[in-house]
Structure 1
Amino acid sequence: MRLRPSLLLLGAALCGLTAPTYAQEAPPPDATEARDPAEATATPDQLYGGPPVPEVVDPTAEVDADQVIDFAADTLSYDEGADIVTASGNVILVRGGYRLRAQTVEYNRRSGVVEARGNVIVIDPGGNQAFGDRVELTESLRDGAIENILLVLQDGGRLAARSGKRVDGRSELDRAIYSPCDIDDSEGCPKKPVWQIKAVKIIHDPARERMTYRHAYFELFGIPVLYLPSLSHPVGGSGSAGGLLVPDIRLDRSLGLELKVPYYLSLAKNRDLTITPYLYTDANPMLGAEYRHLFGGGPARVGGLITKATRETTAGNDKNDVRGYFFANGRLQHSTAWRSTLGVRLTTDDTFLRRYDISRDDTLRNFYTLERFGGTSYLSIEGWAFQGLRADDRAGQQPIALPLVDFQWRPELDALGGRLEVRANTLAITRTDGQDTQRALAQVRWDAATYTPMGQRVTATAMFRADAYHTNDTDLSPFPIYSGKDGWSGRAIPVAALDAEWPFAGPAFGGMQTLTPRVQLVGSGKGDNSDIPNEDARAVDLDDLNLFSLNRFNGFDRWGGGARVTYGARWTLDRPNWRVELEGGQSYRFDKDSDLFPVGTGLSGNFSDFVGRSTLKIGSFVDVTHRFRVDKNGLEVRRNEIDATIGSRRTYATIGYVRLNRDIQLEDLQDREEARVGGRVAFARYWSLFGSAIVDLTGRGEDPLNLSDGYEPIRHRVGIAYEDECFELGVTWRRDYTQDRDFRAGNTFLIRLSLKNLGR
């Protein structure tokens, strides 16, 4: 079937004109950024020049039959006998949110018919634009008929037809073509759209945000590939219309060929439901659903997946069972002061999420938080529960933290030139087959900062904290070093600190440099840790973030007491469009407590290890951060961490490397070494290559170049993608090298095809 006029012919007619065409040049493609619909909608001034279109105060208001048409034109004449007003030359008419522009407009006052000729443009309140040679409209400018029509939708789609009419806001086009693709090349001359739909009739209904076709052909690269007697899909961006979403096709090592076809249902302006069937050649089908609701106080969603499939148990037996996953999250603002946050993630078994490529988490966290924000106070009431997915996780050892209450208050009063902070915290941890712990603490802190005449910033701190603990079933703890003792225990912790910084600034290397030495003195009660259980302060490690902290432990259950001095410096150099920052330091403890910090954390002994960080930023093109810890005795590098991003939005590389050489045989503190690399290279105009890899280097020994010893890839992916303003195609190859029971190592191939503006 051959239909005229086509989008290609319309593009040819516009090629070579000095005035801009309706087809806007597509922005550079980026798979992570959606196209702005506003860029695809040209204003009348962009198309033909001339005076600006008058603004309408309320485009959504009901059209008043007696409303006067506002207009502007070069010349105006009136035929008194025929009662016809004729406007010529850059004519602009505005009424009720509808705008018309043409070279000549005749308005028959008796019949109420408006006839426009010559480069006619009609714009509705939604921003959709209709172009034609001759347009006949009612005096409301809402309904009428158009010859050789071109309709440019607000979301970037285009409709071309031999003729059309608009009735009650709906556009009905005969022998028409729809496509969101550009029909002009970079020089403004015509090209074939990547894809288009030709139909005997196309109906565009803006109220329902829907496009309907009768006897349609789908063409890809100019070749008819599918005949559709009837077709309908949503258009527009408000989400009020339902329909099929973009399908996913993948070939998985254990599931076979997978087809994922989501279907979107709009239940109301603030509610929707997405139902997703998953079909596999080597596994039973799976059904997924997600419900979203925007309440007056905020968003919430709930969903899950369910199937019946065989799974391998920890004993090595296969079991055919119902498998699935449930999730829910949301945040509701109850009032200006109160807010709730919820997160739930539950699965039927350990390997379901990894087998079906949903998540690689080894622990699922479930929580509810109720917060109150006052002018000088903050209250948080939380509950936490966990599901461990590792093979050696025991359900009875998973903690249930309920309640966890934290209260902070900073009164608005001058306390000897400083500020007071009062804090209280309580926690109850219960395990069905393990140690139980209850904790309560109260803390008062005073901080006062001042500047000396020489420019030093001096901060004085005084704090007192009292803790009470109760513990039972410590013999069930898998880590006796963290268990504490059964029964009640407590401690009192007084703290005093003095912190001084002295910045020096001046010009250097074409920019401005700043050198800031810093010294901190801390005196504290030792805070006996021997009988106290350790639930939240296990992963202790000295770094640049906690070097000047009053407590180097990251939780409440451990306190690093005694007297110490910490010293360091920060140097920055700022030049136009780039910045360099270096900082580092060390501390000295006046009393030696061999049991306070494990050897290898950088804090054992009198002198700590050296820690620091360096940062280089060059505009938005280069961002490199290096963090390190150097052993105080043998100057060995105990921590070496690099994160770098280099490149532009379309072509970039990311590099990550971490090596922890601490030689500590404790949970959360074991040595590891890992490298990560990723990137994307854009070429031609719409094509890009991308890839990433994660490699475990922990077992390489002392020789950093010996990749054969302990080199263990974890996962990598490589792909190629094409994306323009209306079409997206991506092919990805991913390989996993780890496995756990029925989660197998192997290859996965993913094919993604997206026809933009066709579905959601």
Structure 2
Amino acid sequence: MHHPTKAFRHCFALTPVALVACALVQAPVHAQAVDPAAPPLDVGQPVLKASPRLREDIPATVRPGLPTFLSGERASGRTDLETVIEGDAQLRRGDTIIRADRLEYHQPDDLAKASGNVHINRAGNTFDGPTLELKIDAFEGFFLAPRYRFLQNNAYGEAERVDFLDDQRAVIKNATYTTCQRRPGPSWLPDWIIRAASIRIDNEEEVGHASGAVLSFFQVPILPVPELSFPLSDKRKSGLLPPTFGLDNLNGVELTVPYYWDIAPNRDATFFPALMTKRGVDLGGEFRYLERDYQGTLRANYMPTDTLRDRDRWGYSLIHSGTITTGLAGLGSVGLNLNLNHVSDDNYWRDFARSGSSLTQRLLASDGSLTWARGNFSLLARSLTWQTLQDVSSPIVPPYDRLPQIVARYSRTSLPGGLDASVEGDYTQFHSDRTLTLQPNAKRAYTLAQITRPWQAPGWFFTPKLQLHATSYQFDAPLVTGATTASRVVPTLSLDGGLVFERDASFFGRAFRQTLEPRAFYVHTPFRDQNQLPNYDSAATDFNFATIYTENAFGGNDRISDNNLLTLGATTRLLDPDTGAEAARFGVAQRLRFKDQLVTLPGGAPVSERLSDVLFGATINWAPQWSTDATVQYNPKTGRSIRSTIGARYSPGNYRVVSAAYRLQRDSSEQLDVGWQWPINDLWGDKGQNLGPGMGEGEGRWYSVGRLNYSLMDKKLVDAVVGLEYDAGCWLGRVVVERLQSSTTSSNKRILFQLEFVGFTRLGSSALQSLKDNIPRYQYLREKVTTPSRFSNYD
């Protein structure tokens, strides 16, 4: 049967349903789709997920029932056998479309043969070449000399042949692969490219496997490997991760070859053996889990025979949080939280200062707690021990272990008369090395009962509070007085009140709602002699706006300060009248002491000053890109500030942030801290493109990144992280120099190099982690936050 046509097009529907819908091919096709939301991914580490990611592919069970549309300039064929389309031929079924100069479709075999300028688009992945044979539903066949492009990562290449195994898998022979996009020019070659004898594509697992592969960078082979796997998306997969290397003044040349094990969507493990030329081999690993009721991370390192210390080195860290179901009706669940840390020796914090875990501190806590709450009652059972890493030149008095600590609390609000009441009991057994603490260990029972009556209304508030502190001790050795037990009972009365005034105001041509909020806080606690008692957990609170309106000058429960003082302060705020956003806040506060404070910490002196230092504070967010925060503790007698902290941040857009902070502790420290991330191209007027967060600002962009911490008192640089980043579009380059202080006389220095081949892999040192840890508000140049949809490349 032959159907000649000239000035019009024909379409053939090969199923009855398609016959009805055939005319749709003649009209333009418009499609919209909402892409399934994908959670943001941390480019430094895979993300654990509670469930597999959604797919938008058409299910295989649905495909056989989909209609097939054929169109072209000339058509011929036999009914229910074959159809031949010549001239602008097109076959469409579901998310698959084939275009060619000539197209044959054999209906019994569901086989399409296309030749001449063949183009195929399946769910956004495209192939172009001279010859194609394909079974449409099974998606089995081959394509000769194709050029291909994948939707997920915009990667593309050329090959001698592609064999389609099914709708998810294909084998590409004698292939190239890159994400560098083609630019005009006959001799253009991508900056980086993979050449492989074969590449196996698995879209179901979203991974590619290359055999006989070589990675070339600017036509220079840099990574020849017999077998190579790489991601086609952000989906996690098991396999070797790119090796990292670096230079360290302590470890020498350091090479790490990580292996990632994708155990399940909610569990994974990473093994990272490292070779250090000055030290030996460090075997490290990390296991993560995320369940419905609990989650955690276990990290461990082991170095047999460290040549630097001539001994084995090891450390581990476990963080766990979750709930345990009791199984008893009405009793609810018990919370379990663990934070366990331990290392092999006192020098671990100094030698492994870049291990990427909490084991680089000198005080390592092993803390475990069980919590339970029901209604107004809560209960905590806790065990806390400390490992203190001592240094002869700078010894530390170890904190006290708590074995055990039991805390019970009962609270009620809205009692008759508008009263709020609570009672808290704490039993703790303190233990440490008495030769270092120079005081006995003890069992301490502490109770705090309090009752308040808050009054609050628009424009004012007033809250009286009555507290009763009761404490008893049992010591394992006599005090200097010979006592083995002690007790105390201390009452406290406080009155807290304030007013709130508002008015409309205008400053610098801008309208505001201005507030004036004066506040008065009075506290009276009679003197109870506590200076002969040991101190297990009390310390002086910091003098700031958060603590100046509190009853006790100490944190912890071993010292309750005697007070007869009045705190007066005032705050004024400038609010946007339309949004309520705070544009500025200014505050001032000072204490007036009517009686000396006689209760002190061991070695401390009574406080006799009637007027305290004055606190000044200011926070200004006049424009979204500017932020300023300052706190000054001023002594009116000396006319000098005792402590000052002034910080500012300027961030006019993505990848542009400069922050600076000045910190002064009179006669102790004075430091200047500056951090930044900024495009260097701005210096010659190239402002780049606004592509949004996680997309960079276009190709050919240089970025300066860094953070400097300088001691003005010592006139020396304490910490420094300075680097350069280059965005070439399809690859990123980073070089970072680190100098971080590890003690008063030594520092660790590193040079980090990293090449990131976008959509493929990273080579070099882990410079990204260093930048994220040290530079405030640092943004990754590539941080994919959405998954491409097939409708974004709809034919």
TM-score range, shorter chain: 0.7 to 0.9
Question: Offset of 1:152 from its aligned partner?
Answer: 0.7
- AA of the residue aligned to 1:694: N
Aligned residue identity for 2:253: L
| 1:353-382 Cα deviation digits (max 9, x unpaired) | 322332652322221232335454443332
Taking every aligned residue pair, what percent have the same amino acid on both sides?
20
**Aligned pair partner of 2:212 in 212, 215, 233:** 215
Q: Name which of 456, 461, 466 aligns with 1:458.
A: 461
1:256 is the counterpart of 2:259 = no
Report if aligned partners of 2:447, 2:470 keep a CA contact under 8 Å in 1: yes
1:704 corresponding residue in structure 2: none
- 2:552 maps to 551
Match of 1:391, SS state, is: coil
User: Partner residue of 1:727?
Assistant: 731
Counterparts of 1:162 and 1:681 in 2: how far apart (Å)?
Answer: 44
Deviations 1:184-235 (A, max 9, x none): 48xx999543211022321112344432223333221234445544433454
Alignment of 1:81-100 (within 5 A): 81-83=79-81, 95=94, 99-100=95-96
Check whether the contact 1:542–1:601 (CA below 8 A) recurs between aligned residues. no
- Greater shift in the superposed pair: 600-609 or 715-724: 600-609
CA contact (8 A) 2:147 2:156 kept: no
2:353 to 354, 357, 363: 357
Aligned match of 2:661 in 645, 656, 662? 656
Q: CA deviation at 1:571?
A: 1.4
Counterpart position of 1:298: 294
How far apart in 2 are the matches of 1:484 and 1:581?
Answer: 54
Counterpart in the other structure of 1:382: 382
Structure 2 counterparts to residues 214-613 of structure 1, below 5 A: 214-225=211-222, 227-239=224-236, 241-309=237-305, 320-334=310-324, 337-358=333-354, 360-392=360-392, 397-411=398-412, 413-433=414-434, 434=437, 435-452=440-457, 455-472=458-475, 486-509=484-507, 510-512=510-512, 513-526=514-527, 528-574=529-575, 579-596=583-600, 604-613=608-617
In structure 1, the partner of 2:182 is 183
Q: Do the aligned partners of residues 199 and 69 (structure 1) sit closer, same or farther apart at CA in structure 2, a change above 3 Å counting?
A: same
Structure 2 equivalent of residue 161 of structure 1: 159
Cα displacement (A) at 1:331:
2.0
Please state if 1:693 is matched with 2:708.
Answer: yes
Written as runs of structure 1 = structure 2, the 5 A alignment for 1:662-673 is 671-673=668-670
* Cross-structure match for 1:15: none
Contact 1:471 1:486 in 2 (8 A): yes
d(CA) in 1 for partners of 2:361, 2:142: 59
TM superposition shift of 1:585: 0.7
Deviation at 1:516, TM superposition (A): 1.4
Contact map agreement 2:648 2:659 (CA 8 A) in 1: yes
Match of 1:645 among 649, 658, 679: 649
Deviation at 1:306, TM superposition (A): 1.9
Q: Point out the more displaced range, 483-492 or 543-552.
A: 483-492
Q: Distance in 1 between matches of 2:82 and 2:615?
A: 86
The one-character-per-residue Cα deviations of 1:222-266 (angstroms, maximum 9, x if unpaired) are: 344455444334543332x22222332222223222222212233
Quick one: which of 117, 136, 140 aligns to 2:137?
140
Aligned partner of 1:291: which letter?
F
Change (3 A) 1:222 1:596: same
Mark the CA change 1:85 to 1:384 in structure 2 (over 3 Å): closer, same or farther: farther
| CA apart distance, 1:629 | 0.9
Instruction: Give the aligned residue type for 2:110.
Output: G
* Further displaced range: 609-618 or 334-343: 334-343
Correspondence for 2:676? 679
Q: 1:618 to 1:93 in 2, by over 3 A?
A: farther
Instruction: Tell me whether 1:152 sits opposite 2:150 in the alignment.
Output: yes
Give 3-state SS (helix, strand or coil) of 1:354's partner: helix
Counterpart CA distance in 2 for 1:293 and 1:634 is: 57
1:172 match: secondary structure: strand
Change over 3 Å in CA distance of 1:457–1:560 after alignment to 2 = farther
Task: Please give the root-mean-square deviation of Cα atoms over the aligned residues, in Å.
Answer: 4.1
SS in 2 for 1:285: strand
Question: Per-residue displacement from partner, 1:670-712 (whole Å, max 9, x unpaired)?
Answer: x333332222332244322223222334xx4xxxxxxxxx334
Quote the offset at 1:524 in angstroms.
3.6
| C-alpha distance in 1 between matches for 2:417 and 2:149 | 72
CA contact (8 A) 2:561 2:599 kept: no
The aligned residue for residue 26 of structure 2 is: none
Q: Is the 8 A contact 2:734 2:755 kept in 1?
A: yes
Q: Whole-Å Cα distance in 1 between the matches of residues 162 and 517 of structure 2? A: 73
Structure 1 spans left out of the alignment, 5+ residues: 1-30, 38-55, 313-318, 664-670, 701-709
Equivalent position amino acid for 1:367 in 2: D
Give 1:256's aligned amino acid: G
- Structure 1 residues 122 and 552: alpha-carbon distance in aligned structure 2, compared to 1, 3 A threshold: farther
Deviation string, structure 1 residues 540-586 (Cα, Å, up to 9, x no partner): 33211111123232333322343332211111224598822111211
Question: Is the Cα contact below 8 Å between 1:573 and 1:581 reproduced in 2?
Answer: yes
Question: What secondary structure, in the 3-state scheme, does the structure 1 residue paired with 2:498 have?
Answer: strand
For residue 529 of structure 1, give the secondary structure of its aligned residue in structure 2. coil
CA distance, structure 2, for counterparts of residue 726 and residue 179 of structure 1: 8
With normalisation by structure 2, the TM-score equals: 0.74
TM-score relative to the length of structure 1: 0.77
Unaligned runs of 5+ in 2: 1-40, 48-53, 326-331, 682-699, 763-795
> How far apart are 1:386 and its partner, in Å?
1.5
Equivalent in the alignment of 2:172: 173
Distance 2:465 2:369 in 1: 31
- The answer to whether the 8 A contact 1:367-1:382 is kept is yes
Amino acid at match of 2:312: V
Deviations 1:112-151 (A, max 9, x none): 2356787845445xxx623335755434264443452413
Contact 2:210 2:228 (C-alpha < 8 Å) held by counterparts: yes
CA 1:333/1:160 → structure 2, altered by over 3 Å: closer, same or farther? farther
Equivalent position SS for 1:411: strand
User: 2:318·2:340 contact (CA, 8 Å) conserved in 1?
Assistant: yes
The answer to whether the aligner puts 1:753 opposite 2:755 as a matched pair is: yes
The verdict on how the C-alpha distance between 1:150 and 1:58 changes in structure 2, with shifts beyond 3 A counting, is closer
Q: In structure 2, how many angstroms separate the alpha carbons of the residues matched to 1:365 and 1:35?
A: 25
Q: C-alpha separation between the residues in 1 aligned to 2:73 and 2:547?
A: 77
Residue 628 of structure 1 and its aligned partner are, at CA, apart by 1.5
Contact kept? 1:91, 1:102, Cα under 8 Å = yes
Counterparts of 1:626 and 1:380, CA distance in 2: 38
Partner AA of 1:613 in structure 2: G
**Cα gap change, 1:500/1:78 in structure 2, threshold over 3 Å: closer, same or farther?**
farther
| Paired residue total | 670
CA-CA distance at 1:159 after TM superposition? 4.2
- 3-state secondary structure, aligned to 2:350: helix
Q: Secondary structure of 2:638's partner?
A: coil
SS at match of 2:310: strand
Q: 1:268 to 1:423 in 2, by over 3 A?
A: same
Asked if 2 retains the 8 angstrom alpha-carbon contact of 1:152 and 1:159, the reply is no
Distance 1:90 1:471, change over 3 A: farther
> Secondary structure of 2:523's partner?
strand
> Deviations for 1:314-336, whole angstroms, at most 9, x for unmatched residues?
xxxxx521122211212224358
Distance 1:153 1:159, change over 3 A: farther
- Amino acid paired to 2:364: L
